[in-house]
């Protein structure tokens, strides 16, 4: 097969997934489209560097993340300040056991209630936390894959994912109570 045919067969099947994540990263449809386009152009240009049989999806996400960090982060406003001491570890997920057994309560929860309020809560996360949350919860990457994609140590991925969960717990508490996913109890 030609370079074009193999690229289309291996890489282009991930366009929707790349776009979803780019949209979460950039918070803007036009920027997300540009980011995906730039990712695919760079991936095609360096397709000969891709190791056949390896994880093409992770390779594409790494390219996209690097482009985002290099180009889009410089354009963003000052980083958000978050007092992590104000976020209780078991704020919401302690209540999720009532939803039934699951190896991944976050995926179970988001699968049930993924709408504008949840999207908004994810988009309001500070950028560093948002990236690992999106890659883990929404795209299903492992800690190691996220570390490779984002160029982070695995401990940093775990820490950011933990803190991202804490921030989402706080943001989604009222939403979960309002929609009957958990019962209101004394906080």
Q: What is the pLDDT along the chain (187 residues), one digit of tens a residue?
A: 888 899 999 999 999 999 999 988 888 899 999 999 999 999 999 999 888 888 999 999 999 988 888 876 566 544 445 455 555 555 555 545 544 555 566 665 555 555 667 778 888 888 889 989 989 988 889 999 999 998 999 999 999 999 998 988 888 887 777 777 777 665 5
In a domain, 184, yes or no: no
Of 29, 55, 75, at which residue does a domain stop?
Answer: 75
- What domain range is 89 assigned to? 84-178
What is the distance between the alpha carbons of residues 93 and 109, in angstroms, rounded to a whole number?
9
Beta-carbon count within 10 A of 128 CB: 17
Which of 45, 35, 44, 30 has its CA nearest to residue 70?
Answer: 35
80 DSSP 8-state letter: P
At 33 the pLDDT is 94
At 90 the pLDDT is 56
pTM, rounded to two decimals? 0.59
- What SS3 state is found at 186? coil
Q: What are phi and psi of 159, to 5 degrees?
A: -65, -45
What is the distance between the alpha carbons of residues 168 and 44, in angstroms, rounded to a whole number?
36
Of 75, 110, 134, at which residue does a domain stop?
Answer: 75
Q: What would the two tokens of residue 159 be?
A: 């820490």
Domain count along the chain: 2
* Residue 96 and residue 61 share a domain: no
At 63 the pLDDT is 93
At 93 the pLDDT is 53
What is the distance between the alpha carbons of residues 30 and 181, in angstroms, rounded to a whole number?
34
């Amino acid at each position: 097969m030609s370079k074009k045919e193999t690229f289309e067969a291996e890489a282009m099947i991930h366009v929707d997934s790349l776009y979803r994540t780019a949209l979460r990263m950039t918070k803007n449809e036009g920027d997300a489209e540009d980011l995906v386009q730039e990712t695919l152009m760079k991936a095609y240009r360096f397709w000969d560097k891709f190791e056949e049989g390896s994880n093409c999806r992770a390779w594409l996400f790494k390219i996209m993340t690097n482009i985002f960090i290099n180009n889009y982060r410089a354009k963003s406003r000052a980083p958000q300040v978050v007092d992590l001491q104000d976020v209780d570890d078991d704020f919401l997920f302690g209540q999720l056991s009532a939803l039934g057994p699951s190896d991944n309560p976050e995926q179970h929860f988001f699968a049930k209630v993924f709408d504008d309020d949840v999207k908004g809560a994810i988009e309001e996360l500070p950028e560093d936390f948002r990236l690992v949350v999106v890659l883990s919860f929404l795209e299903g990457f492992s800690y190691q894959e996220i570390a490779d994609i984002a160029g982070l140590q695995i401990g940093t991925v775990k820490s950011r994912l933990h803190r991202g969960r804490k921030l989402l717990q706080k943001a989604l508490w009222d939403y979960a109570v309002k929609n009957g996913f958990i019962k209101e109890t004394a906080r």
